[in-house]
Amino acid sequence: MLTVIALVIAILFMSPPWSVVIVIVAAIIDIAETGGFYWWSRRKRRLTAVAVGAETIVGRTGVALGRLDPDAASPAGQVRIEGEIWGARSAEPIEPGAPVVVSAVNGLVLDVEPKRRS
């Protein structure tokens, strides 16, 4: 953008030796700004953890909303993880209101286990 403004000023208002200088300086500034923003965005992307995708929910804790019992006719129940309600199943019985930890994601169903006190 700065280069465009410099071109307009150079063409309309400046004499030939200074018009070339203004355009070259503006182009150098534009290239430096673009390079700086590109470097900053790549650095920011490298330093931040992945924030999307089903894999990011593994290891998070939540609360069982219903009884999770692998021996029941319907072993799947529901859990609340960070305000979202997910379908869940567990290899061992979990009572409603008990804290759970997500161990795996299978489609839209979470495999959970009881949170162990440490």
87 vs 110: CA distance, rounded Å: 6
Q: Domain ranges for the chain, please list them.
A: 2-47, 55-114
CB 85 within 8 A of CB 63: no
Instruction: State yes or no: pLDDT of 118 exceeds 70.
Output: no
114 vs 109: CA distance, rounded Å: 16
Q: Band the pLDDT of 97: cuts 50, 70, 90.
A: very high
CATH of domain 55-114: 2.40.50.140
54 vs 108: CA distance, rounded Å: 9
The structure tokens listed for 22 are: 């203004």
Each residue of 66-95: pLDDT tens digit?
A: 999 888 877 789 999 989 999 999 999 999
Per the model's pLDDT, the better-predicted residue between 11 and 99 turns out to be 99
106 vs 92: CA distance, rounded Å: 17
pLDDT of residue 54: 73
Average pLDDT, the chain: 87
Each residue of 7-56: pLDDT tens digit?
A: 888 888 888 888 888 888 888 999 999 999 999 888 877 777 667 777 78
78 vs 2: CA distance, rounded Å: 56
Please give the share of the chain, as a percent, with pLDDT higher than 90: 46
pLDDT of residue 53: 75
